[in-house]
């Protein structure tokens, strides 16, 4: 009878490197050890009611094991935010601007480009840029989260000008490269975020585009015929 092979004992868990600043955050219930690891040090403001990820997670703690200690600020505009000030006071660390703040500014515009939240985007547009607002609003309009009416309110306040020509040349030209799926033509916009934004708005308003049941943009029969594309089965 063959002898049963002895199983190797599991290695003991690696102890967390001593980090007095992480201990301060955990002790003051800013974060738990589990969520600190899970979220790569992102610190959530418990009082935040916004859907904006930038406002929900205004700080990231870079621990000793990752080259810290360091507090990274999501936006320089949040330096005086109450949660930021509280964490800075507890740890004694002065927050520095996150080099990825441009990405966070875009997400701020995307998160608030909905029919429920566009007014908050207007109130907090100083936390992002016109380019990111154009990208966020274009995303919201394209996926049916934001109506063209409410999109226009945001764009007017952000002073994003409307181009002449209702984007017809772009919609019928090379700035849109339709691809055929089983049941629809997908628009596939290219070019600057402002162009893509207005193609979505003008396309919906003028009947060149519509949303399918899943909320995705598709070409209408009018556009399929105008571009000389094969009819859908």
Residues 151 and 138 placed together within one structural domain of the fold:
yes
Residue 70 lies in a domain: yes
Query: Are 172 and 215 in a shared domain?
Result: yes
Together in a domain, 41 and 86: yes
| Same domain, yes or no: 26 and 94 | yes
Cα 212 to Cα 139, 144, 183, 202, distances in angstroms? 15, 9, 10, 17
- Name the β-bridge partners of 219: 209
The last residue of one of the domains, among 161, 181, 200, is 161
At residue 15 the predicted structure's pLDDT band, cuts being 50, 70 and 90, is low
Q: What is the tens place of the pLDDT at every residue in 174-192?
A: 999 999 998 899 999 999 9
Q: For residues 29 and 137, what is the distance between their CA atoms, to the nearest angstrom? A: 36
Residues 149 and 170 in one domain: no
91-114 pLDDT tens trace: 999 999 988 788 899 999 999 999
Domain boundary (99, 130, 150) is at 99
Note the pLDDT of residue 190: 94
pLDDT at 100: 77
Listed residues 161, 183, 209: the one ending a domain: 161
Residue 132 lies in a domain: yes
pLDDT of 2 higher than 70: no
What are the structure tokens assigned to 161, written together?
A: 């000008």
Domain co-membership, 24 together with 90: yes
Reported as a single tens digit per residue, the pLDDT across 114-145 is 999 999 999 999 999 999 999 999 999 999 99
**Token pair of 95 as six digits:** 């927050």
Residue 196 has pLDDT above 80, yes or no: yes
The answer to whether residues 81 and 112 belong to one domain is no
Q: Which residues contact 222 (CB under 8 A, 6 or more apart)?
A: 207, 208
pLDDT at 105: 93
Residues 121 and 87 in one domain: no
In a domain, 10, yes or no: no
Residues 178 and 224 in one domain: yes
Mean pLDDT of all residues in 25-47: 92
Tens digit of pLDDT for each residue in 75-86?
999 999 999 999
Q: By residue range, what is the domain housing residue 186?
A: 166-233
Split into its structural domains, the chain has a count of 3
pLDDT for the residue 111: 98
Specify the pLDDT at position 94.
95
pLDDT for 61 equals: 96
**Which pTM was predicted?**
0.86
State whether 95 and 24 are in the same domain: yes
Residue 62 sits in the same domain as residue 88: yes
Averaged pLDDT of the chain: 92
Task: Answer yes or no: do 113 and 155 share one domain.
Answer: yes
């Amino acid at each position: 009878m063959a002898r049963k092979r002895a199983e190797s004992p599991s290695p003991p868990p690696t102890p967390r490197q001593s980090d007095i600043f992480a201990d301060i955050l955990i002790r003051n219930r800013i974060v738990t050890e589990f969520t600190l690891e899970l979220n790569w040090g992102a610190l959530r403001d418990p009082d935040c009611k916004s859907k904006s990820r930038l406002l929900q997670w205004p700080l990231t703690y870079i621990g000793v094991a990752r080259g810290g200690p360091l507090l990274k600020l999501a936006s320089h505009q949040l330096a005086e935010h109450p949660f930021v000030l509280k964490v800075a006071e507890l740890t004694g660390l002065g927050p520095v601007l996150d080099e990825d703040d441009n990405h966070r500014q875009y997400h701020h515009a995307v998160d608030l480009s909905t029919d429920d939240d566009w007014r908050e985007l207007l109130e907090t547009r100083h936390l992002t840029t016109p380019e990111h607002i154009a990208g966020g609003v274009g995303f919201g309009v394209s996926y049916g989260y934001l109506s063209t009416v409410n999109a226009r309110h945001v764009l007017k306040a952000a002073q994003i000008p409307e181009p002449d020509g209702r984007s017809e040349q772009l919609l019928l030209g090379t700035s849109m490269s339709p691809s055929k799926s089983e049941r629809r033509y997908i628009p596939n916009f290219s070019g600057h975020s402002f162009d893509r934004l207005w193609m979505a708005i003008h396309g919906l308003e003028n009947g060149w585009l519509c949303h399918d049941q899943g909320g995705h943009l598709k070409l209408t029969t009018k556009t399929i015929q105008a571009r000389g594309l094969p009819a859908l089965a």
